[in-house]
Amino acid sequence: MKTVANSTLPNTVLRPDYDRSTLQSRIVHLGFGAFHRAHQALFTNEMLSKSNTDWGICEINLFGGEDLIESLRAQDHLYTVAEKGAESTDVKVIGSVTESLHPSLDGIETVLEKMAEPQVAIVSMTITEKGYCADPATGKLDKNNPLVIADLANPSEPKSALGYIVQALKIRRERGLTPFTVMSCDNVQENGHVAKAAIIEFAQLLDPELRDWIETNVTFPCTMVDRIVPAATEETLTEIAELLGCEDPCGIACEPFRQWVIEDNFVAGRPDWNVAGAEFVEDVVPYEEMKLRMLNGSHSFLAYLGYLGGYHHISDTMTDAGYRKAAFDMMMKSQAPSLTMPEGTDLEGYATLLINRFTNPSLKHKTWQIAMDGSQKIPQRMGGSLRFHLDQGSNFSWLATAIAGWMRYVSGVDEQGNEIDVRDPMADTLRQICDQHGLNVSVVPALLAVEAIFPAELGQNPKVIDAVSSAYQSLIEHGAVATVAAL
């Protein structure tokens, strides 16, 4: 079979221009998903082409994705990223991956031994919000999570990312090896702190001495990651195959824009990702709050209200003047005022850039995809700015409408009466509440009372209840398109 490893590719395809045989697996990455392929692995690939270094990546999928790992191996760990602009597409073959593992294919012990190898300096991860096994209401480790219970009972055969990391660090400590840095690349606010809190608490339950060693020796830098990467579809893979002249089941398409801001806090060294455009800073928090609120918050707004309005893709919503203006106003009037940014930050310029990115017709980014896991996302994307406006006594109608859109969406039935495939860790709980009330404004206080999503000071605030109820009533009476236009 022809693959990217053994085909004669068109001259327009950028290929690795460095000696891949010199690379070592100095980074172990958990979660070989679409975003990682188009972001961290691509940054590493470009860093390798600009510096004489041996930083390679071992990719590990812990849950599912065995086929992807086998496909990656079959093509010598090469795969393709197509950067799709509004006018043209750049195709790049990525060579930064050195090897790959999966517990179902290779065994748990093999994965742990890889993480314990002396040259491994960083364990990075894209495991989504759910992967941290944290209780959304408290931010602390969810001790009732089935994965946590299983891993504490049998730590040498972990299932969760936390269990693998703690067990690998235990092995390194017993062997007198230096620890690795744990680097979260998930779209989670203060992701390094979230990862540290979960891992420290898990280790405490397992072995207080190990916990102390981890807290003293392991670093957990925060990162801010940004690139729009839709899930791969048959259409995407067909298009990539046409561009390459061969199939690449690991291929991924994304937008040209990318951003990576990293707290410079690595216990065992790091690659010079800055030569590929990453930015090392002392404090990532202002940048990630800017991104979470302005980009991700408006993305959620467009996802729920766009889906309800009959728009399949984010770029489709941008063809509607009402959605386009409302998304911009959401950024500038609801989100930007709540931010504290370094001097000279151009938030209006950032908002304009985001609207242009959302408009890119080449990216088929589904509203349904962005709508997933809303119970995990809304607290980070809207909670902080909601607090700001309540303190200031200012207008938060865009936030209220976004939350009402989410409530209407999780009812599981769209405006035409069709079933919505709601994917959310709390889907059953949310659906029960919605079913009790039907499509009635009485559902609003009931959903706002779910404290894992809305802390009491927000969910039980009369101003929040009134504003969200008003927006929800408009969605019932007039529909999403008219409600957005009225903003």
Same-domain status, 130 and 241: yes
Last-in-domain residue among 281, 316, 335: 281
End-to-end C-alpha distance for the chain, whole angstroms: 54
Q: In angstroms, how far apart are the furthest CA atoms of the chain? A: 66
Asked whether residue 12 is domain-assigned, the answer is: no
193 and 60 in a single domain? The answer is yes
Same domain membership, residue 191 and residue 163: yes
Same domain, 267 and 325: no
Q: Structurally, how many domains does the chain consist of?
A: 2
Helical H runs in 291-442? 297-308, 314-317, 321-329, 347-359, 367-370, 374-378, 384-392, 397-410, 427-437
Tell me the mean pLDDT in the region 107-112: 98
Q: Is the pLDDT of residue 139 over 90?
A: no
User: What average pLDDT does the structure give for the chain?
Assistant: 95
Q: What pLDDT, on a 0 to 100 scale, did the predictor assign at position 28?
A: 98
225: helix, coil or strand? strand
- Looking at the fold, whether 276 and 295 belong to one and the same domain comes out as no
More confident residue, 26 or 363: 26
DSSP 410-441: HTSB-TTSPBP----TTHHHHHHHHHHH-SST
Place of tokens 């203006």: 325
Per-residue pLDDT, averaged over 87-114, amounts to: 97
Classify residue 244: in a domain, yes or no. Answer: yes
Domain assignment of residue 447, given as a range = 285-486
Considering the domain architecture, whether residues 224 and 313 belong to the same structural domain is answered as: no
**According to the model, what pLDDT value does residue 262 have?**
97
Residues 233-261, mean pLDDT to the nearest whole number? 95
End position of a domain, from candidates 261, 281, 301: 281
pLDDT tens digit sequence for 254-266 = 999 999 999 999 9
Strand pairing category for 259-263 and 279-281: parallel
Q: Is residue 2 part of a domain?
A: no
Helical (H) or strand (E) element with 465? helix 462-478
Position 419 in a domain: yes
Based on the fold, state whether residues 383 and 466 are members of the same structural domain.
yes
> How much is the pLDDT for 5?
84
The pLDDT of residue 469: 98
Residue by residue, DSSP assigns 26-75 as EEEEE---HHHHHTHHHHHHHHHHHS---EEEEEE-SSS-HHHHHHHHHT
Q: What value does the mean pLDDT take over residues 269-283? A: 96
- Structural domain includes residue 4: no
| pLDDT tens for each residue of 177-212 | 999 999 999 988 899 999 999 999 999 999 999 999
Say which CATH number the domain at 109 has: 3.40.50.720
User: What is the predicted pLDDT for the residue at 274?
Assistant: 98
pLDDT at 1: 65
Q: Are residues 138 and 258 in the same domain?
A: yes
85, 216: one domain = yes
pTM of the shown model: 0.85
Same domain, 64 and 199: yes
Q: Say if 291 falls within a structural domain.
A: yes
Share of the chain above pLDDT 90, in %: 91
Same domain, 289 and 312: yes
CATH number at residue 393: 1.10.1040.10
Of the three residues 281, 301, 331, the one that is the final residue of a domain is 281
For the stretch 3-19, pLDDT in tens is 898 889 999 999 999 99
What is residue 105's predicted lDDT score, i.e. its pLDDT?
Answer: 98
- 6 lies in a domain? no
At residue 363, the pLDDT reads: 84
Q: What is the pLDDT of residues 416-443, one digit of tens each?
A: 999 999 999 999 999 999 999 999 999 9
Determine, yes or no, domain membership for 251.
yes
3-state DSSP helix/strand/coil % of the chain, to nearest 5 = 50, 10, 35
**Residue 275 shares a structural domain with residue 330:** no
41 close to 251: Cβ distance less than 8 angstroms: no
Integer angstrom CA distances of residue 46 from 92, 329, 354: 10, 36, 24
